[in-house]
Amino acid sequence: MLQKSTTNNLEAFWMPFTANRQFKQAPRMLVAARDMHYTTDDGRQILDGAAGLWCCNAGHGRPKIVEAIQKQAAELDYAPAFQMGHPKAFEFASKLVAMAPAGMDHVFFTNSGSESVETALKMALAYHRVKGEGSRTRLLGRERGYHGVNFGGISVGGIVGNRKMFGTLLTGVDHIRHTHDPARNTFSRGQPEHGVEFADELERLVTLHDASTIAALIIEPVAGSTGVLVPPKGYLQRIREICDKHGILLIFDEVITGFGRLGAPFAADYFGVTPDIMTTAKGVTNGTVPMGAVFVKGEIYDAFMNGPEHLIEFAHGYTYSGSPLAAAAGLATLETYQEEGLLTRGAELADYWAGALWSLKGLPHVVDLRNCGLIAGIELEPIAGQPGKRGFSAFLKGFEDGILIRTTGDIIALSPPLIIEKHQIDELFGKIAEILKSLD
């Protein structure tokens, strides 16, 4: 039995995206993790139904990744990222582009999904400028979209709680509508049948602003943090067509969907739609060392490679871009994914996963179920006058009952490590069923 934490002063740490006062009255402390489970400070095992925070796709404490990080820390702890390099960053970038959709030939390293989004937006603006189309300065996002928490990300994002406290945000930003259509698509298994026409919202904004002012559109192929919104059939294909028609760059935010979450390496593979720029993070190192990777098509990179060779082509980067520890962790993560077939394992489990999810239909408070690959969304009817409370109660009961689930408002979002077994899927949904029956 592990010793209970002796930490008794929790005030110094202002916790992110947390109800700080509630947590500090009844802390939920994790002290160890292995494979599919966390261990709490009182020795309980918690089945991870959320891959940590959508990031530990290969599970926890994986030996190859742990060993790579330990070895790298002893060999080369840090190397400057500006005007210098180290071999593992280049090796990792080469292996990433080898598994990326065709034509995405270059990778720019960041430290998080938020930084990946900022990088992608700046790339889009700068690309049009170097191409002689400097009037293309407008950025488009989508309602209910989540693109991290930096100013660019919350500007193109569309989650009101992440935006309302921070003033006017970036100027020159507009949004297309979200794809959620409960009147026609409630309890859709996989991609909804209705809603391809929502893509035509992009044409409306082109008419309003003129294509010559629009640099890029950024969307999540599957919107995760807003509560698992799966794109209607044909929607992403139509978005791609409209962007091509008007010379608008299409950015896929694959921070959640990348690295096997849908049963393919990327959502771009799963849906058969290749963007111009693709943001990733989380699963790129299995959540072990902070890192993000922005994939770009070759023609975007090549557009910058002009002018005197001694000058910096793209004035952007981070102290820790492609850091040695992150690159080592990433290489070991890719090896783990490939050796265990994890980038496609979600496809093998998808039907079983969906069946377990659909066993919840008809239980108290469930108003919709949504799924794609190894992601699930369980939408609950809100308590009148107290939005989010029923979802938060489900989260707390889950922790008490030995499962980690993610809630966003009154929606339970599930995305387990890709190593999950069928009996663990049964355990996860069985406990959720009991929780739903017990909620007020």
**226 within 8 A of 145, measured Cβ to Cβ:** yes
Rounded to whole angstroms, how far apart are CA atoms 266 and 110? Answer: 18
For residue 347, name the pLDDT band (cuts at 50, 70, 90).
very high
Burial level of 234, CB count in 10 A (0-12/13-18/19+)?
middle
Fill in the DSSP letter of residue 213.
G
User: What are the tens digits of pLDDT across the range 262-273?
Assistant: 999 999 999 999
What is the overall mean pLDDT for the chain?
97
Does a structural domain hold residue 4? no
Does a structural domain hold residue 9? no
Asked if residue 252 and residue 141 are part of one domain, the reply reads yes
Strand partners, 296: 106, 277
Looking at residue 4, its pLDDT comes to 55
For residue 5, name the pLDDT band (cuts at 50, 70, 90).
low
For residue 9, name the pLDDT band (cuts at 50, 70, 90).
confident
The answer on pLDDT for 432 being more than 70 is yes
Please identify, among 283, 316, 339, the residue that sits at the C-terminal boundary of a domain. Answer: 339
- Name the strand (E) or helix (H) holding 366: strand 366-372
The answer on pLDDT for 2 being more than 70 is no
Please identify, among 283, 313, 339, the residue that sits at the C-terminal boundary of a domain. Answer: 339
User: What are the tens digits of pLDDT across the range 86-97?
Assistant: 999 999 999 999
Asked if residue 129 and residue 108 are part of one domain, the reply reads yes
Asked if residue 183 and residue 99 are part of one domain, the reply reads yes
The answer on pLDDT for 45 being more than 70 is yes
Q: Compute the chain's Rg from CA coordinates.
A: 22
Fill in the DSSP letter of residue 234.
T
Please identify, among 299, 321, 339, the residue that sits at the C-terminal boundary of a domain. Answer: 339
N-terminal to C-terminal alpha carbon distance within the chain: 34
- 3 state SS for 22-66: HHHHCCCCEEEEEECEEEECCCCEEEECCHHHHCCCCCECCHHHH
User: What are the tens digits of pLDDT across the range 179-196?
Assistant: 999 999 999 999 999 999
Asked if residue 186 and residue 287 are part of one domain, the reply reads yes
For residue 1, name the pLDDT band (cuts at 50, 70, 90).
very low
Asked if residue 172 and residue 254 are part of one domain, the reply reads yes
What dihedral angle (degrees, nearest 10) is formed by the CA atoms of 309, 313, 318, 323? -50
The answer on pLDDT for 397 being more than 80 is yes
User: What are the tens digits of pLDDT across the range 230-277?
Assistant: 999 999 999 999 999 999 999 999 999 999 999 999 999 999 999 999
User: What are the tens digits of pLDDT across the range 114-151?
Assistant: 999 999 999 999 999 999 999 999 999 999 999 999 99
DSSP per residue over 152-202, as a string? HHHHH---HHHHTTSTT-SSSEEEE-----HHHHTT-SSS-SS-GGGGGHH
Asked if residue 90 and residue 171 are part of one domain, the reply reads yes
Residues 6+ apart with CB under 8 A from 267: 221, 222, 252, 254, 257, 258, 261
Q: Which domain holds residue 388?
A: 20-58+344-438
Overall average pLDDT of the 328-347 stretch: 98
- Name the strand (E) or helix (H) holding 412: strand 411-414
Looking at residue 298, its pLDDT comes to 97
Strands 138-142 and 214-219: parallel
What dihedral angle (degrees, nearest 10) is formed by the CA atoms of 239, 243, 244, 250? -90
Asked if residue 262 and residue 397 are part of one domain, the reply reads no
Asked if residue 43 and residue 94 are part of one domain, the reply reads no
